[in-house]
Amino acid sequence: MLDIKLIREKPDFVRARLATRHAGDEQKLDRLLAIDQEWRRALAELESAQAQRKKLAREIGELLTKEQGRAAEQLKEQTKALKTKIDELEAKVRTLEAERKSLLLQIPNLPHESVPMGRDASENRVVREFGTKPQFNFQPKTHVELCEKLGLIDFERATKISGSGFILFTGLGAKLERALIQFMLDLHTSKHGYKEISPPYLVGPHCMEGVGQFPKFVDQYYAVREGLDESTLGKLYLIPTAETPLANIHREEILSESQLPIRYCAYTPCFRCEAGAAGVSTRGLIRVHQFDKVELVKIVPPETGYQELESMVNDAEKVLQLLGLHYRVVLLCTGDMGFASAKTYDIEVWAPGQGAYLEVSSVSNCEDYQARRMNLRYKTASGHNVFPHILNGSGTALPRLYVALLETYQQEDGRVMIPEVLRPYMGCEYLSP
């Protein structure tokens, strides 16, 4: 969440930065400022009443010592009336504090000053490209055609099992998925300095709130229950990304400065129910409810946050470079960024069969926005507790990477060549019909 002190001291600055997102959050900010002011007034009144009660208690004690019981009884009557007032003020402060926190959780992060202004994806900025689009002397097939011809995925049986938006990898198709995951984990742990984590796939709502997925996007994720007990529904959620458990590992902790930077990576399946609204019934791997992803998370001092962002983008790019895939890096504009992000790069890989770029990685610096939500701090050498920057990025996401690989390396005879870096994992050079 945003720093309430910044909001109080520079409301016009915060309002102007929020306006660049074109999401209408300025009204929430105005409501927050009003509630915060009312909360501070009520809190001051409560503290004054509590101080008065303590003063009366001392006076009553002194009177009883002097055996002035009648005077003490009169003060006790005042104390009773004051207690009623304090109870009312405490209830008011709690109510206002809850609304204040709720509003703070609904306000997105402020875009960094280096983020280009824009309303939507059409105003994003391509910052660089790698390689060139592959050329074919035949009509390239789509990944759906290739998967069916090579027996890599059984779309019909996946639908029979779980409905639309799910994948059933088979044979070499399953092995290729596993090979890509293992290749990425090995790269990030052995070459890029990340520590591998195998996190839970179910998390509590406090973890979803910590990274900014709740409360705004609560309807986009899968809630589970314990058996038939409806009262347990929403106590746990299937993770939409490994960012959720990874970023929350150190929630409510005070780390030492020497522990930073922290670099974690994890492979997990990811679960998202919002895909259906965008045509998930279409056969293929572009939009699905469950997919695999290798995620990268960093926890770093604020002064190195943006240096670490560029480094994380390079780490994700290296996956595509070693696979020999054409891609571009896109800097998102203010109107297209995620809720918790201060600056985001998307990495889009070229899929010849689709004739389009597909996003396979989104890399963001959330600055201290998530750290404040989960109360994660570190102690500096001077003894101050500071909120760190938290960064996250896909390193990378499947199955769109799978799509690009199949469509890029397809051969005229129907085979698909395996990139050299994957051959030790696959034990073959081609996928053949």
Domain end marker among 44, 75, 106: 106
Please state whether the predicted TM-score (pTM) of the whole model is above 0.85.
yes
Instruction: Quote the CA–CA distance of 247 and 264 in Å, as a whole number.
Output: 9
Domain end marker among 79, 106, 133: 106
Residue 114: inside a domain: no
Between the alpha carbon of residue 303 and those of residues 2, 166, 170, 307, 386, the distances in Å are 18, 42, 47, 8, 11
Average pLDDT over residues 5-24: 97
Residue 208, pLDDT above cutoff 80: yes
Could you tell me if 185 and 293 lie in one domain? Answer: yes
Could you tell me if 84 and 232 lie in one domain? Answer: no
Residue 282, pLDDT above cutoff 80: no
Q: Which domain holds residue 9?
A: 4-106
Residue 159: inside a domain: yes
Arithmetic mean of pLDDT over the chain: 94
- The reply to whether 317 belongs to the active site is no
Beta carbons within 8 Å of 403's beta carbon, 6+ residues apart: 143, 284, 285, 286, 351, 353, 354, 358
- The reply to whether 251 belongs to the active site is no
Question: What is the DSSP code (8-state) at residue 226?
Answer: B
Instruction: Quote the CA–CA distance of 389 and 305 in Å, as a whole number.
Output: 6
- pLDDT at 58 (0 to 100): 67
Residue 111: inside a domain: no
Residue 93, pLDDT above cutoff 50: yes
Give the active site residue among 272, 372, 373, 377: 272
pLDDT of 386-426, one tens digit each? 999 999 999 999 999 999 999 999 999 999 999 999 999 99
Residue with tokens 């996401």: 397
- pLDDT at 276 (0 to 100): 46
- pLDDT at 141 (0 to 100): 96
- The reply to whether 287 belongs to the active site is yes
Number of structural domains the chain divides into: 2
- % of the chain exceeding 70 in pLDDT: 93
Residue 77, pLDDT above cutoff 70: no
H-helix or E-strand containing 350?
strand 343-351
Instruction: Pick the closest to residue 36 from 66, 7, 78, 1 (CA basis).
Output: 7
Residue 278, pLDDT above cutoff 50: no
Could you tell me if 69 and 202 lie in one domain? Answer: no
Average pLDDT over residues 149-169: 96
Could you tell me if 177 and 231 lie in one domain? Answer: yes
Average pLDDT over residues 130-140: 97
Could you tell me if 92 and 167 lie in one domain? Answer: no
Residue 69, pLDDT above cutoff 50: yes
pLDDT of 106-117, one tens digit each? 999 999 999 999
- pLDDT at 281 (0 to 100): 42
- % of the chain exceeding 90 in pLDDT: 88
Looking at residue 335, its amino acid is G
Could you tell me if 93 and 136 lie in one domain? Answer: no
Strand partners, 385: 379
What strands, in cross-sheet order, belong to the sheet with 377-379?
254-256, 377-379, 385-386
Residue 280: inside a domain: yes
Could you tell me if 211 and 91 lie in one domain? Answer: no
pLDDT of 332-358, one tens digit each? 999 999 999 999 999 999 999 999 999
Could you tell me if 143 and 288 lie in one domain? Answer: yes
Could you tell me if 156 and 17 lie in one domain? Answer: no
Residue 376: inside a domain: yes
Residue 325: inside a domain: yes
Domain end marker among 81, 106, 131: 106
- The reply to whether 119 belongs to the active site is no
Give the active site residue among 17, 21, 263, 287: 287
Residue 157: inside a domain: yes
CATH classification at residue 346: 3.30.930.10
Could you tell me if 269 and 304 lie in one domain? Answer: yes
Radius of gyration over every alpha carbon of the chain, rounded to an integer in angstroms: 27
Residue 214, pLDDT above cutoff 90: yes
Could you tell me if 91 and 130 lie in one domain? Answer: no
pLDDT top residue among 320 and 49: 320
Residue 195: inside a domain: yes
Could you tell me if 51 and 200 lie in one domain? Answer: no
pLDDT of 180-198, one tens digit each? 999 999 999 999 999 999 9
Average pLDDT over residues 277-294: 77
- pLDDT at 270 (0 to 100): 98
- pLDDT at 83 (0 to 100): 84
- pLDDT at 346 (0 to 100): 99
Give the active site residue among 362, 367, 377, 407: 362
- The reply to whether 198 belongs to the active site is no
CATH classification at residue 62: 1.10.287.40
- pLDDT at 279 (0 to 100): 42
Give the active site residue among 26, 38, 148, 359: 359
